[in-house]
């Protein structure tokens, strides 16, 4: 009986809308990964001969633009439609890649990177809304998030690797054509996403599989006065613990602390060759990707609490040991442990949050939560560099481990409070 039910859930999850979301996520992360990791640092430095400050400013503007516009994007989804919000964002992203491809002016490149961030800002709010609707009442949100996270990590990892094969003799013309082609394809796919119903009212079921016949219907809701109404609606219905807000920030802050220093640490402190470092990243990332869907399925069946308990605790221990370890064989074990911890965290964290959301204004609330969460990735790298300079190479890793330990404690409290609130609701 259970097996039959599980198969039915799986079949309903893999719908055209879900496949479109998967393709969009993969290709957008592919383009962003290629730009931020490979093209901008090397192209701006070696080809355009711009300053390191200009390169850093450009990359920072992308993160700032992405983070600042997530909340407005979530609000827009429920006003001008799912499809239109995504299409506007992807059009801005296409324009941004085009500007970077044709100009050597520092100001224009910085502006293009800001546009790139603004353009990709609707991606995660749209994904969250789409996954919530497609998974519906089948309680397979974590499984869906595992598949989406696999797409995100796969695209971000494949972008820098694949694009390097097309960089020859210092010419980036072919590379930019490939990226523009990817964005054109993504924009075309976004036009197949669901829009709004013609009644000009928010239709929470528009993204369900049974509503996919309305893919090309439109309708723009009047925007005037809605912002004040939205804020009032959120204040009235959003009943979450204050501890969720620092937890949202710290969850990504822990990653942000490691992002700018991991390569430098492995090369200068552990003295690994580029080939060994690449192999290490493939192993760690591969373990995470392989674990996403199985962990997501188990979380849908048994709940997210213990997976997040184990994930945060394992991450805290393994990252702390990474900071003090100098043994190369042990290094591989620690990277595997970190990969496992993130396989536990990634599909289940957003699932836990989705269970706390009220029925109204989900787009705006997802945007708000994703903005708070994304700010950790903005401040983490800044703090990381300062810690490295003041206290040595191991300090960003120890700080990240401490943050993961705090996350474990916060999640203990959050899960206990959420359980009690559910019991109170049932009793009333």
Domain-terminating residue out of 175, 190, 223: 223
Domain-terminating residue out of 199, 223, 247: 223
Give yes or no for residue 252 having a pLDDT over 70: yes
**Alpha carbon distance 138, 141 (integer Å):** 8
Residues 197 and 63 in one domain: yes
Number of domains composing the chain: 2
Give yes or no for residue 173 having a pLDDT over 70: yes
Residues 64 and 144 in one domain: yes
Both tokens assigned to 327: 């043994």
Q: What is the pLDDT of residue 230?
A: 52
Q: Residue 274: which pLDDT band, with cuts at 50, 70 and 90?
A: confident
Give the up-direction half-sphere exposure of residue 72: CA atoms within 13 A in the CB hemisphere: 12
Q: What is the pLDDT of residue 229?
A: 57
We report the CATH number of the domain holding residue 391 as 1.20.1250.20
Q: What is the pLDDT of residue 247?
A: 92
State the Cα torsion 65-375-281-158 to the nearest 10°. Answer: -30
Buried b (16+ CB within 10 A) or exposed e, 141-174: bbbbbbbbbbbbbbbbbebbeebeebeeeeebee
Q: What is the pLDDT of residue 29?
A: 92
Give yes or no for residue 170 having a pLDDT over 90: no
Q: What is the pLDDT of residue 31?
A: 93
Q: Per-residue pLDDT tens for 194-238?
A: 765 433 433 344 443 333 333 333 344 444 445 455 555 555 556
Q: What is the pLDDT of residue 197?
A: 43
Q: What is the pLDDT of residue 363?
A: 65
- What are 171's strand-pairing partners? 168
Give yes or no for residue 333 having a pLDDT over 90: yes
Residues 344 and 363 in one domain: yes
How confident is the prediction for the chain on average, in pLDDT?
A: 79
Q: What percent of the chain has pLDDT over 70?
A: 80
Q: Which domain holds residue 284?
A: 232-428
Q: Per-residue pLDDT tens for 52-110?
A: 678 777 877 888 888 888 878 877 877 777 788 889 999 999 999 999 989 888 889 98
Give yes or no for residue 186 having a pLDDT over 60: yes
Q: What is the pLDDT of residue 5?
A: 38
Domain-terminating residue out of 223, 256, 277: 223
Residues 372 and 424 in one domain: yes
């Amino acid at each position: 009986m259970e097996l039959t039910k599980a198969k039915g859930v799986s079949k309903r999850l893999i719908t055209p809308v879900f496949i479109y979301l998967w393709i969009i996520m993969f290709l957008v992360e592919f383009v962003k990964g290629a730009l931020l990791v490979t093209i901008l640092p090397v192209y701006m430095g070696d080809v355009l001969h711009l300053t390191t400050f200009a390169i850093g400013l450009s990359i920072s503007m992308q993160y700032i633009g992405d983070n600042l516009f997530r909340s407005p994007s979530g609000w827009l989804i429920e006003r001008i439609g799912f499809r239109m919000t995504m299409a506007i964002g992807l059009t801005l992203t296409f324009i941004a890649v085009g500007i970077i491809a044709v100009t050597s002016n520092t100001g224009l490149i910085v502006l293009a990177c800001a546009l790139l961030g603004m353009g990709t800002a609707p991606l995660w709010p749209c994904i969250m809304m789409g996954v919530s609707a497609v998974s519906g009442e089948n309680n397979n949100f974590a499984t869906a998030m595992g598949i989406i996270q696999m797409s995100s990590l796969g695209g971000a990892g494949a972008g820098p690797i694949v694009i390097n094969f097309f960089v020859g003799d210092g010419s980036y013309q072919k590379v930019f054509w490939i990226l523009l082609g990817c964005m054109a394809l993504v924009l075309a796919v976004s036009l197949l996403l669901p829009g709004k119903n013609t009644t000009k009212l928010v239709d929470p079921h528009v993204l369900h599989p049974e509503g996919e016949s309305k893919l090309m219907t439109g309708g723009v809701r009047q925007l005037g006065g809605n912002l004040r109404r939205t804020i009032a609606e959120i204040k009235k219905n959003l009943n979450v613990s204050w501890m969720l807000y620092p937890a949202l920030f710290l969850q990504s802050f822990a990653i942000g602390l490691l992002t700018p220093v991991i390569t430098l640490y492995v090369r200068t402190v552990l003295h690994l060759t580029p080939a060994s470092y690449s192999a290490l990243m493939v192993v760690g990332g591969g373990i995470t990707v392989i674990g996403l869907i199985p962990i997501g399925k188990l979380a849908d069946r048994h709940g997210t609490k213990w997976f997040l308990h184990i994930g945060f605790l394992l991450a805290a221990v393994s990252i702390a040991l990474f900071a003090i370890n100098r043994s190369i064989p042990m290094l591989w074990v620690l990277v595997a442990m970190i990969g496992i911890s993130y396989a536990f965290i990634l599909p289940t964290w957003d699932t836990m949050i989705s269970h706390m959301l009220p029925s109204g204004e989900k787009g705006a609330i997802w945007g708000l939560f994703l903005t708070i969460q994304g700010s950790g990735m903005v401040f983490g790298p800044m703090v990381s560099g300062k810690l490295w300079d003041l206290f040595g190479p191991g300090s960003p890793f120890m700080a990240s481990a401490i943050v993961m330990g705090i996350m474990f404690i916060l999640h203990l409290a959050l899960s206990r409070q959420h359980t009690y609130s559910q019991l109170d609701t049932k009793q009333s």
